[in-house]
Structure 1
Amino acid sequence: MWNNVRQLNAAASLLSAGALLALLGAAGYWLAERPMFALRAIQVEGDVAHINVPTIRADVVGTLRGNYFTVDLDRARVAFETMPWVRRASVRRVWPNGLAVSLEEYRPLGTWGDNQLVSVDGELFTANQAEIDDDIPEFSGPVGSEKMVVQRYHDFQKWLAPLGAAPEAVSLSARYAWTVRLTSGLEIDLGRERTAQTLDERSMRLVKAWPQVVRRWGDNIEHADLRYPNGLAIRAASMRFTQDPSASKGNK
C-alpha cells in the first residue's frame, strides 16, 4: 500500500473528508447549543374557546426538553393533548426559537356522570363542567357505552319530537335498559332493546297514544312506562292523592 500512490491518495482523501465531517459536526453541535435557539415562544392556534393560552404556556413549556433543533415534537404533542379540552394537537418548529401548536377542542354534547363530559363524537373527556355556557343534556351508562348513548340520544330526539319536547337526560342502566327524561319533565322507561326496532316501536306507541293520554289526564304527565308488549302505563300529576292526617289518626 505504501508504494501505491493511488491508494495513498485515496486514503488521504478519506481521512481529510472524515476530519472535515467531524469538524462540521462539532461546529453544528456548538451552533445548535447557542442560547439563541433555546425555546422562548409558543404560538397557539385553532380552537381555544375553553383553553387558557397563558396556562398552556406555563404548564407545557416547563415539560419540554431541548431547543429548536433537539426538542421532541411528538412528546410535545402528547404534552399538549393531556390538557383539559384538548382533543388533538399538532406541533411544528418556528425559526429560530419557537413552536407553533394547532389545537382541536372536544365539542361537548352532554355531561357524563358526575365529573366528565361526552363529545358530539361520543368520546369521554374530563373538564370543568362549570365552563359550559349552555344547558346540555345529561348522559350515563356502563363503561364503553358512550357512542351508543350518543347515537340513541339523536334517535330519541327524532322519535319523540311529536311530543313537543326534547331529551334532557338519557340513561342506560347496567342491565342495558333505557330511560329518557324530556324537557317537559316526562320520564320514559323504554326497557331493553330486544331487537333493532324495539326502541323505535315503543317510542311510536307513546307518540300515537299521546293525544288520547293528554285528553284524559292533561298535559302534566310525569311518567310513561313502555316496557309492556302491547301497551303502556301512565302516571300524571292529577292521579296523585293525599290522605287526611286527621282521618288516619281517627282510624287508629
Structure 2
Amino acid sequence: MWHDVRLLNGIANVLLTLFVVTVLAGCFLWFAQQPFFTLTVIQVQEAEGKTLKHVNALTVRGVALPRIKGNFFTVDLDAVREAFKAVPWVREATVRRKWPNGLVVAIEEHKPLGTWGEDGRLLSIKGDVFTANLAEAEEEVNLLRFYGPEGSEKEVVMRYEELKRGFAVIRLEPVLLELSERYAWRTTLNNGMTVRFGREEGRISMREQMGRLLAVYPRLAAQVKNGIRGIDLRYPNGLALRADGMVPDIGGQ
C-alpha cells in the first residue's frame, strides 16, 4: 500500500478535505455564537391583506417571546410560529429571519362569527374554534351561537352560510344553529322562530326542505296572527307548525 502513490494521494486528499471541513465548521459555530446575532428585534406585522385588531405588544411579550430560543442562526422558525399561534386571536403566523439579529412575524387573526358550545369558546368565519376574550369579540360582531359534535365546526359554518342565504329571501337570519350528536339540524331565527330540519338523509335534502319552507312561509306568516314559534320540516310531504294556542299540521305536496 505504501508504494501505491495514487492511493496515498487519495487518502491525503480525503484527510485534507476532512480537516478543512472541520475547521470551517468550527469557525462557523464560533461566528454564529457571537453576541452580534442575539435576537433583539422581533417585528410583528399583519399578513398581506389582513388587519390586526386584537393582537398587541403586551400579549406577544407575555405569551410568545418567552418561548423563543436561540439566535439568528439557531432559532427554530417552526417553534416560533407555534409560539405566536399560542397568542390569543392568532390564527396563523409566518416567520422569516431578518439579518442580522431579527425576525419578522406576519400574523393573521381569527375573525369571530359566534360562540361554540357552552364553554365560552369562539367559532371563526373559517370554522376554527379558538379561545379569546368574549368581550373583545362582542365589540367586533354580534356573536351568533353554534353547537355541534367536535370536528363538525367547518360543516356547521358552511351550513350556516347556506341557511343565511336561504332565509334572506324572507328577510330572516339564523342566530343559532345546532347539529346534534345524532346529526340532526335545528336553527333559531332572529324573530325567535325555531326551524327543525332533522337528519339530512334518504330522499329529503336540507335544500329541498328549505325550498318547501320558503314557498309557503309568507302565507303561513300572514295567517298566524300571534306569530309562528316553530316549524318542523321532518316530514316527507309537509311540515308541522307551532304557534301560541295552536299546534296544527300543514301538509301538502
TM-score range, shorter chain: 0.7 to 0.9
Q: CA deviation at 1:2?
A: 7.8
Q: CA deviation at 1:100?
A: 0.8
Question: Which residue does the alignment assign to 1:98?
Answer: 102
Question: Which residue does the alignment assign to 2:200?
Answer: 193
Aligned CA RMSD, in angstroms, stands at 2.8
Question: Which residue does the alignment assign to 2:154?
Answer: 147
- Helix, strand or coil: the match of 2:238? coil
Of the structure 1 ranges 204-213 and 59-68, higher mean CA displacement relative to structure 2 is found in 204-213
18 and 214 in structure 1: CA distance in 2 versus 1, 3 angstrom threshold: closer
Q: Does 1:131 align with 2:136?
A: yes
| Amino acid aligned to 1:117 | L
- How does 1:35-50 map onto structure 2 within 5 Å? 35-46=35-46, 47-50=51-54
**2:74 paired residue among 54, 70, 74:** 70
| Amino acid aligned to 2:28 | G
Question: Which residue does the alignment assign to 1:249?
Answer: none
2 and 50 in structure 1: CA distance in 2 versus 1, 3 angstrom threshold: same
Question: Which residue does the alignment assign to 1:79?
Answer: 83
TM-score, length-normalised on structure 2? 0.81
| Amino acid aligned to 1:216 | Q
- How does 1:1-252 map onto structure 2 within 5 Å? 21-46=21-46, 47-114=51-118, 115-132=120-137, 133-195=140-202, 197-218=204-225, 220-237=227-244, 239=245
Q: How many residue pairs are counted as aligned between the two chains?
A: 239
- Helix, strand or coil: the match of 1:62? helix
Taking only the aligned residue pairs, the percentage that are identical comes to 43
Of the structure 1 ranges 51-60 and 92-101, higher mean CA displacement relative to structure 2 is found in 51-60
Say whether the 8 Å CA contact 2:145–2:177 is kept in structure 1. yes
TM-score, length-normalised on structure 1? 0.81
Q: CA deviation at 1:117?
A: 2.1
CA offset digits 1:112-147 (Å, max 9, x no partner)? 112222222223223232221210321111122222
Say whether the 8 Å CA contact 2:112–2:141 is kept in structure 1. no
Question: Which residue does the alignment assign to 1:247?
Answer: none
Instruction: Please identify the structure whose Cα radius of gyration is greater.
Output: 1
CA distance in 2, matches of 1:62, 1:78: 12
Question: Which residue does the alignment assign to 2:249?
Answer: none
Q: CA deviation at 1:67?
A: 0.9
